[in-house]
Amino acid sequence: MPNNRNEFPMNKKNIIIRTIALAILCTVSFADTKKKPNVVFIIVDDLNDWIGVMGGHPQSKTPNLDALANQGVLFTNAHCNAPQCGPSRASLLNGLYPKSTGRYFNNPKRMPFYGDQPTQGITSPNAPKNPFVFHRHFKAHGYRVVSGGKIAHGNSKEITNNVDEYLARPADT
């Protein structure tokens, strides 16, 4: 019998009970922690169905894209909100229609005959004052955000400021 209430005899039975109790406590404490899924978001203008997982083309070899598509989510019927890439990307990244983002054209300065159209900023009175931004959302939830290609070039600081690393195109291309 121990002399002090804080002392326990060290025999095999007590060691086994303590080990099992510690294992249960560790299991319970780590049971609620969820590992965040990796998110790879690939957007391509005019992809068509030339990648293997979508039917393929004899000259197109896409084993890595096919593997990603088979392990994740593949959208096979997507539509854009604008007929040009810039307004369509802005709409996708903000979750707003072009009438709300004010982006109708790629470069409105080159289209003087559309001068009466609003081209910058939020133009709809019903649009949220602080809209959802794709990059900011992931950054705020603890993700490391890497962007490349046309998804972040020429976009607002709201997008580029929330990117940890930008994969620029090599200078020789």
What is the DSSP annotation of 35-101? PPPP------TT-TT-SGGGT--TT---HHHHHHHHHS---SS---SSSSHHHHHHHHHHT--HHHH
Our answer to whether residue 79 is catalytic in this structure is: no
Q: Are 159 and 137 in contact (CB under 8 A)?
A: no
Q: Catalytic: which of 57, 85, 135, 141? A: 85
Answer for the pair 69, 86: CB distance below 8 angstroms, yes or no.
Answer: no
CA–CA separation, 103 vs 82, rounded Å? 9
- Is 85 tagged catalytic? yes
145, 135 Cβ separation under 8 angstroms: yes
Active site residues: 85, 153
